[in-house]
Amino acid sequence: MFDEKSILDMSKKRKELLNYEDVVKQYKEDGYQIVTEQARYSAEKLVQEFSKKIDPEYQRRLVWDDKKKSKLIESLIINIPIPPIFLYEYDLYEYEVMDGQQRISTITSFLNNKFKLKDLQIWDELNGKFYRDLDQNVQRSIKRRYISAIILLKETAKNELEEKALKQLIFERLNTGGTELNYQEIRNALYQGEFNRRLFEMSKNKLYRDLWSFNKKNSSRMEDIELILRFFSYISAVHLSISGSTRAILDSYAEKSIQFNIEECDQLEEVFNETIENVHKLFGDKAFRSSSKGKSEKMIFDTTMLFAYFHKNDISKIFENYSELGQLKFEIIDKYKKDIFNGKYTSIKNVGMRVQTFEKELL
């Protein structure tokens, strides 16, 4: 798990120093600073070097519309400086894009004639044109514009622990397209692996998407991905008696998931798909809602998904004893609304209490 504690541990000694001379000495000895260098890439070179390094799942969820993309292209045309991209040197002269994927993707898309310019403020005569429609001089000027890059060098971190902690700190403080990264977007960047890729595959489950009623807005910020991670993280937390905040539990599981092999991911994907089916069988089309007219809620998602997972072998028995389970679920939630279904208590302990309430009422 990597949160602010990792960074705070690095600075603890400095806070205990008594005077400026000690601060200078400690700074020289420990070198708690990020090592960077600057570079400049032409737009054409930037696309050649980094367009293939953009996370493909992230790219499918890019949220800039054509108006915002066009604004970036217009900035290149008239040579207005754009914010630098941030690169991380994970190996000697090998870089990953930490911040700037949206800008790189936009330039790549335009040079490949994927969108028309629109709502330009200064070069409005270019509105409605693809890259191929532009005068050759304008085309050349776009490809030759330089974009600054700040490279975080490999020697910044002395070990893997420091590397992950520093990367998380940087992700949390950088903005992407003016939108601060949320926790799941940070996890997606930090914990790349087979399981992280499978989360995106699982999120395509039609029944899952229909039950939650996902739209473009909440999908673009990876809420659909985080919910699935949440499901597996809570199962693990219950099995291992783990406590802590939701963020800490999800961070910890995401970190561990890097080691999952293909066979393990196959099993987990099967578990998720089976559980979604069982939730729908039990509670119907409004399985994740607390009332017939309400919206899907994480609190209800946690409860119904964990109940269906832990009691998959009891489903036939439940159907023998009860009918109209969807309505009965609403009644159970309403009955215990003041105590545990009020939305105030989100700890794993309270998640467990809500599942136990379903067990008491339905088993």
Other CB atoms within 10 A of residue 192 CB = 13
Of 20 and 97, more confident:
97
Asked if 298 contacts 226 with a C-beta cutoff of 8 angstroms, the reply is no
Query: b/e map of 204-228 (b: 16 or more CB within 10 Å)?
Result: ebeebeebbebeeeebbbbbbbbbb
Q: What angle do CA 74, 80, 85 make, to 5 degrees?
A: 95
pLDDT 10s digits, 37-52: 899 999 999 999 888 7
Q: What pLDDT is recorded for position 62?
A: 66
Q: What is the 3-state secondary structure (H, E, C) of 262-276?
A: HHHHHHHHHHHHHHH
pLDDT 10s digits, 326-361: 999 999 999 999 888 987 767 898 999 999 999 999
Strands 175-176 and 179-180: antiparallel
pLDDT 10s digits, 285-315: 999 999 988 899 999 999 999 999 999 999 9
Residue 99 phi, psi dihedral angles, 5° rounding: -145, 125
Average pLDDT, the chain: 85
pLDDT 10s digits, 198-253: 999 999 999 999 999 988 777 778 999 999 999 999 999 998 888 889 999 999 99
Other CB atoms within 10 A of residue 292 CB = 9
pLDDT 10s digits, 113-127: 999 999 999 999 999
Report d(CA 49, CA 52) in Å as an integer.
7
Share of the chain above pLDDT 90, in %: 53
pLDDT beyond 80 at 106: yes
- Mean pLDDT, range 1-5, rounded to an integer: 44
pLDDT band at residue 176, thresholds of 50, 70 and 90?
Answer: very low
Residue 360 phi, psi dihedral angles, 5° rounding: -65, -35
Report d(CA 361, CA 94) in Å as an integer.
57
pLDDT band at residue 13, thresholds of 50, 70 and 90?
Answer: very low
How far from chain centre, in Å, is Cα 29?
Answer: 36
pLDDT beyond 50 at 23: no
pLDDT 10s digits, 133-150: 999 999 999 999 999 999
Residue 327's identity, in one-letter code, is: Q
What token pair was written down for 295? 């919206």
Report d(CA 70, CA 110) in Å as an integer.
9
